[in-house]
Amino acid sequence: MGLQAYLILAAVVFGIGLFGVVTRRNTIGILLGIELMLNAVNINLVAFARFSGSEVGMVFTVFAICITVAEAAMGLAIVILLFRVRRTVMADHLDLLKG
């Protein structure tokens, strides 16, 4: 399979993740969409690294995966904190910053 096939697969997964982020009402559902998008980016990085014959893209993927894990931990901690304050995790009801 050529590089093109991997890139298109990653683009489709990214688009599906974007759909989840836009349409989900539950904050945790939105975070799941973000995970899908980050995952698609990692596929791109690994495919480019493998086809260009350089390991730098793969090293970048290792960093990207670690940062994603930190992001997920922080995101879920914020969700739990929001739930404690507002008793809901529905994004529509989280309008504390609305003037």
Q: By C-alpha distance, which of 57, 47, 56 is closest to 4?
A: 47
The answer to whether residue 55 forms part of the interface with other proteins (CB under 8 A) is yes
Q: Is position 93 an interface residue for other proteins (rule: CB under 8 A)?
A: no
41 interacts with other proteins by CB under 8 A: no
Q: Give the whole-angstrom CA distance, residue 84 versus residue 67.
A: 26
* By CB under 8 A, residue 66 contacts other proteins: yes
Cβ atoms within 10 A of the Cβ of 89, count?
A: 17
The correct pick among 26, 94, 96, 99 for binding other proteins (CB under 8 A) is 26
Asked whether position 34 contacts other proteins by CB under 8 A, the answer is no
**Residue with token string 């904190």:** 81
Give the nearest distance from C-beta 95 to other proteins in angstroms.
15
